[in-house]
Amino acid sequence: MLFSLTASTLLRDLVTTMQDALIVVGGVALTTHLIFKKNEPSNVAVGLALTLSTPLVLSIVLHKAFSSYVTAILLISAVFHGVLGTSILLYRLSPFHPLAKYPGPLLCKVGKIFFYLKAKDGQQYHYINSLHHQYGDIVRIGPNDLSIADAAAIVPVMGPAGLPRGPEIQSRQLYPAVKSLIGTRDTIQHHHRRKPWTRAFNSTALKEYAPLISHRANQLVELITAESKEKSVDLSSWFGRFTYDVMSDVIYGGGPSMLQDGDKSGNIQVIAEGLTQGSIYEHLPWLAYYAKKLPGKVNDSLLGLRKLGLGLAAGRQQRGSKTKDLFYYLNNEDLPNAEPTPAPLLVSEGVLATVAGSDTTSSTLTTEVDHFYPPEVDALDSKYYKDIPLIDAVINETLRLWPAVASGSIRLVPHGSGGKMVDKYFIPEGTHVRVHSYTVQRDPRNFSPSPEKWWPDRWLIAEGHQTSSYSSESSKSFTHNTAAFVPFSFGPANCVGKPLAIMEMRMIIAYLMQKVEMSFDESWDPSEYAGNLREEQVLLRGSLKVLAKLR
């Protein structure tokens, strides 16, 4: 305190001209840039003090060099922020920046706001894909952000010795006090937290969930065929309600039937709007620190999503176990001698499960499924799926073209690590990096021929179920690199719910194909479907109009 007062007095006595005062202000602004560049202070008070309070303090100390306090405040604030902004701009564009050698749009190098403006309409995956086609396998998409479209980067970025998740996972949720599994960045803690999730999705647990999915599948078929007698049905909407009900049954042991009663409470819309608002803070994570402090309706959508998850989780916690649902395992109820999971942590995991159990699966289900399942076989009996590789081929090909997380998960090269070699690329510490799944899985170096075409035969050919002479595509060179196929992410932080998602898709595809004849509504253009897909953390689907009748 005494030092600060002495320095202020000395500065006031030494600086007597406006020119000298503004030079001092410029020096302080450059020092502020260095502080932000090295420490990236996340505390709101510290950030405001450095950017807003500093010019005011300087105005008080140096006011004698100006004609009035008002003049001092105006000029010092203008010079401070002008020098600070210019310094940041020049550094990000300079050859001294750690990512200077990597190509990318000029405005993306300047700041993430430009990237957000390109991505805010849900077209992030298309934009990054276009950048890779323009600049190559590695592109700078932000001041400290890289996207890689080289399959060789998958293991070093996401594998066992890969990189931890970036802070964007937490910023999407306004940095909650209790983090969910996916928001846990410490690899040791993540491994510990993942154990009950792994038990919840092993083969024994999946057998418990199968009857729940069967019940909802029967409901879905009855309802869409009944509605289609009068008009075409939006299969996308029905799948959304179906997956929400499956999520309620499997995760929370039951709840209101959205298939039967519709979305009266608007929960599906709450999920979509919450994901959309969370995407803002994915691109501008520093903004989340400030936004969470704002009152009113600024974050209504995001808080509504969290409130929904909290309500479902809290309700299940109060009811206790009626079935062996996901919470049965998350609360360690399958381990008699284990301590129950603390309530705040259990509820936080429920928020994650609410999102992961709904939109990610339904986006994959709504696809062209024009194959058959033998009518004499129970289509909901999973033991026969291994004998019908066409079902998995349909699922895999759809996931290849439309992975639920199309732009891949963001990873961070830890500060103090010295950087990391990712294949042939050196990634400096402090860099956010992603492997762009959408581009990698459509790359002709990994899948050909016709990497942009929906062609399930490629999986049958690769696995020996079918010879290449079966298809006209066989006249072209055949490439099938399954190491580049990562729709559920990869490594220790991959999607823990993959077994359930695959089982759910197999069952509903087989059952629909056995029980229902479907065709597109003549008034609806199928080509519109892909164009209406939006990436808001996960792919959100558009309308899918079909006519359906029982076989």
Q: Which of 541, 271, 282 is nearest to 407 (CA)?
A: 282
The answer to the question of residue 362 being in a domain is yes
Q: What local confidence, expressed as pLDDT, does residue 203 receive? A: 87
Q: 69 in a domain, yes or no?
A: yes
Instruction: Please tell me the total count of domains within the chain.
Output: 2
Q: Which of 93, 112, 137 is the last residue of a domain?
A: 93
Residues 88 and 207 occupy one common structural domain: no
Query: Which residue has better confidence, 41 or 74?
Result: 74
| 108 band by pLDDT with thresholds 50, 70 and 90 | very high
pLDDT value for 288: 75
527: helix, coil or strand?
coil
Would you say residue 531 lies in a domain? yes
Range of the domain at 321: 181-396+490-550
Predicted confidence (pLDDT) at residue 389 exceeds the cutoff of 90:
no
- For residue 419, tell me if it sits in a domain: no
- The verdict on residue 226 lying in a domain is yes
pLDDT category, 362, cuts 50, 70, 90? very low
Domain boundary pick from 93, 109, 127: 93
- Confirm whether 401 is domain-assigned: no
Q: Which pLDDT tens digit goes with each residue over 53-65? A: 888 888 887 877 7
Q: Is the pLDDT of residue 24 over 50?
A: yes
**Does 61 fall in a domain?**
yes
pLDDT over threshold 80, residue 347? no
Residues 266, 367: one domain?
yes
Among 467, 236, 484, CA closest to 361: 236
Per-residue pLDDT at 397:
93
Question: What confidence tier does 537 reach under pLDDT thresholds 50, 70, 90?
Answer: confident
Quick one: 388 and 289 in the same domain? yes
Give the model confidence (pLDDT) of 478-536 as tens digits: 999 999 999 988 888 888 888 888 888 888 888 887 788 888 878 777 777 777 788 87
Least confident of 93-107, 233-247, 365-379, 463-477: 365-379
Domain assignment of residue 49, yes or no: yes
What's the chain's average pLDDT? 80
Same domain, 89 and 211: no
Cβ atoms 404, 538 nearer than 8 A: yes
Q: Contact, 55 vs 80, CB < 8 A? A: yes
Q: Which parts of 223-376 are beta strand (E)? A: 233-234
For the question of whether the overall pTM of this predicted structure is more than 0.75, the answer is yes
- Same domain for 205 and 354, yes or no, is yes
Q: Report the C-alpha gap between 59 and 40 in whole angstroms.
A: 25
Q: Given 61, 93, 125, which residue is the final one in a domain? A: 93
The Cα 174–Cα 291 span in angstroms is 8
SS3 13: helix
Per-residue pLDDT, 378: 58
